[in-house]
């Protein structure tokens, strides 16, 4: 952590779940942090997430595609943690052009701006295990076939390839972290489309039924956000990394039934309901998934340390303390569909 003291760091999507936790740790480590966040409705931005470090950071409210608004900050960057984008799989199927814009067009513009302004900075991109699709084998390593089952996975895959292409060309120093299901403080609990773990936490807090679709024996490897922040920090400054893509998952696989049972125990009043998969969700079900972390452990010296039940307990404690900051939001206006957005030309 001391290696970050005095470094100039940019965190895109820094008002969101993972980005805000990362920004807090960087400030604690003595880094000079600039957050770039567009606060697009539906993507989880919350100013309260960075309350512990205000006024210790610079905040630029901008889409990462509007590069002229932050070019000067890029010129000074030592490292960039790129967490901007949409993560909702179901929403990408409802509005694929919106997802295309947020996860590919803006990413390409941003990377071309980085190439022009800060080619020496290391860029860490937050990708997703969703690009693997339905696993062919378990655990899933970085060589697993890429066969996404929704538009979000396709677009995240494209953004990954932008990063890797520019890295292979020697234009940028990029690394990609493929994240499993992340949970912890600062999730956007008012947005049900941002993952089942957030839904389970919100229902546990409110004493509402926790719904498990199917038989509940599907495996996942949920990883606490503090562990995710740790691996980002290690990858941000590690010299001479052999690989450019790393899986990031939790300590061990657990079933959805076990996850639901843990949430119900922590709630003390939430029943568990098993229901058949709705038609619109069953086509996006990947069955079981958990990560092979061999490469990440070997090259970054990282292993997840927070067991799920302990991490869930701390997560619920955070939201019980700050409930009013994560519930009771009024309905926010929708982002216009991509067909109605005007795209400025992508320049070289």
pLDDT tens digit string along 41-64? 888 899 999 999 999 999 999 999
User: CB–CB of 272/261 below 8 Å?
Assistant: yes
Per-residue model confidence (pLDDT) at position 277: 85
- Whether residue 170 lies inside any domain: the answer is yes
- pLDDT at position 336: 36
Domain assignment present for residue 84? The answer is yes
Q: How would residue 1 be classed by pLDDT, with cut points 50, 70 and 90?
A: low
* Measured distance CA(73)–CA(81) in Å, rounded: 13
**Predicted TM-score (pTM) of this structure:** 0.93
Q: Out of 224-238, 255-269, 322-336, which region has the weakest mean confidence (pLDDT)?
A: 322-336
Query: What rounded mean pLDDT belongs to the chain?
Result: 92
CB 99 within 8 A of CB 151: yes
> What is the rounded CA–CA span in Å between residue 251 and residue 345?
44
Total domain count, the chain: 1
pLDDT, average across residues 6-21: 97
Closest by alpha carbon to 107, among 13, 21, 34? 13
Q: Is residue 112 part of a domain?
A: yes
Integer Cα distance of 247 and 234 in angstroms: 14
Q: Is residue 342 part of a domain?
A: no
Mean pLDDT within 174-194:
92
In a domain? residue 294:
yes
Q: In whole angstroms, give the CA distance from residue 245 to residue 190.
A: 31
**100, 104, 110, 112 alpha-carbon torsion, rounded to 10°:** -130
With H, G, I as helix, E, B as strand and everything else as coil, classify residue 242: coil
- Mean pLDDT on 113-134: 97
Residues 34, 52: Cα–Cα separation, whole Å: 15
Instruction: Dig out the tokens for 171 from the structure.
Output: 């234009």
Mean pLDDT of 296-314: 97
pLDDT 10s digits, 239-277: 989 999 999 999 999 999 999 999 999 999 999 999 998
Task: Give the residue numbers spanning the domain of 311.
Answer: 2-327
Q: Residue 33: beta bridge partners?
A: 9
Query: Would residue 332 count as lying in a domain?
Result: no
Please check whether residue 347 lies inside any domain of the structure.
no
- Is 50 exceeded by the pLDDT of residue 183? yes
Q: Is residue 344 part of a domain?
A: no
Q: What is the CATH number of the domain that holds 130?
A: 3.40.50.720
Phi, psi of 232, deg, nearest 5? -60, -45
């Amino acid at each position: 952590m001391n290696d970050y003291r005095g470094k100039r760091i940019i965190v895109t999507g820094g008002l969101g779940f993972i980005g805000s936790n990362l920004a807090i740790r960087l400030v604690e480590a003595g880094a000079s942090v600039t957050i770039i966040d567009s606060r697009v409705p539906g993507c989880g931005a919350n100013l309260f997430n960075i309350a512990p470090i205000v006024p210790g950071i610079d905040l630029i409210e901008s889409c990462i595609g509007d590069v002229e608004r932050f070019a000067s900050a890029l010129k000074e960057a030592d490292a960039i943690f790129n967490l901007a984008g949409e993560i909702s799989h179901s929403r990408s199927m409802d509005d694929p052009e919106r997802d295309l814009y947020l996860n590919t067009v803006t990413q390409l513009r941003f990377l071309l701006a980085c190439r022009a302004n800060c080619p020496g900075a290391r860029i860490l991109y937050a990708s997703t295990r969703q690009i693997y699709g339905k696993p062919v084998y378990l655990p899933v390593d970085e060589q697993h076939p890429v066969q996404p089952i929704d538009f979000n996975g396709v677009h995240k895959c494209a953004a990954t390839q932008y990063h890797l292409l520019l890295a292979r060309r020697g234009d940028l120093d990029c690394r990609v972290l493929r994240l499993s299901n992340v949970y912890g403080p600062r999730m956007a609990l008012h947005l049900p489309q941002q993952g089942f773990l957030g839904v389970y936490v919100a229902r546990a807090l409110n004493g509402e039924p926790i719904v498990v679709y199917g038989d509940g024996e599907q495996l996942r490897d949920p990883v606490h956000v503090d562990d995710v922040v740790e691996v980002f920090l290690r990858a941000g400054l590690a010299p001479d990394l052999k690989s450019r893509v790393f899986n990031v998952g939790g300590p061990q696989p657990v079933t959805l039934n076990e996850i639901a049972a843990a949430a119900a125990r922590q709630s003390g009043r939430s029943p568990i309901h098993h229901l058949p998969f709705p038609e619109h969700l069953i086509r996006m079900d990947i069955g079981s998934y958990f990560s092979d972390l061999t490469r990440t452990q070997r090259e970054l010296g990282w292993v997840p340390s927070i067991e799920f039940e302990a991490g869930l307990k701390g997560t619920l404690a955070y939201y019980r303390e700050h409930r009013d900051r994560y519930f009771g939001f009024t309905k926010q206006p929708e982002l216009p569909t991509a067909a109605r957005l005007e795209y400025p030309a992508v320049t070289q």
